[in-house]
Amino acid sequence: MDTIGESVAVKRPVSATENLTIEGHVRGKIDLACHVLTIDPNGLVEAEVHARVVNILGKVEGDITATEAINIRETATVDGAVVAPSVGIEERASFRGNRHQPDYPTAEGHQTAQTGETTRAVP
């Protein structure tokens, strides 16, 4: 697993062939097509993000697409669209943007799509 440390600022596209944790500041596109991206509580991302799974504990400004799941934790602030088959938003998280969950099979074999605009402020 790679880490972009708290004192590091990256202002260009980032890609990796393994899981990545961001503790610092990244501005640009992030592409981790088959891997997990974690944004720590002190992390700031101003980017378009693509990953298999995205775990957000810090701040993201930009659209996020994941092939499996996006997890917005209670310490997170997200401003942008999120697209993934599974989107979890914890109660104290701040999320402003659109949520789209592409078609996925249900227990009955039917297809379901969920789309919506959500604004949730930190209490």
Residue 106: predicted pLDDT: 47
Residue 110: predicted pLDDT: 39
Residue 103: predicted pLDDT: 65
Residue 72: predicted pLDDT: 96
Point out the residues of the chain with pLDDT beneath 50.
106-117, 122-123
CA distance 62 to 117: 15
CA distance 24 to 43: 5
Residue 102: predicted pLDDT: 77
Residue 48 class from Cβ within 10 Å (0-12 exposed, 13-18 middle, 19+ buried)?
Answer: middle
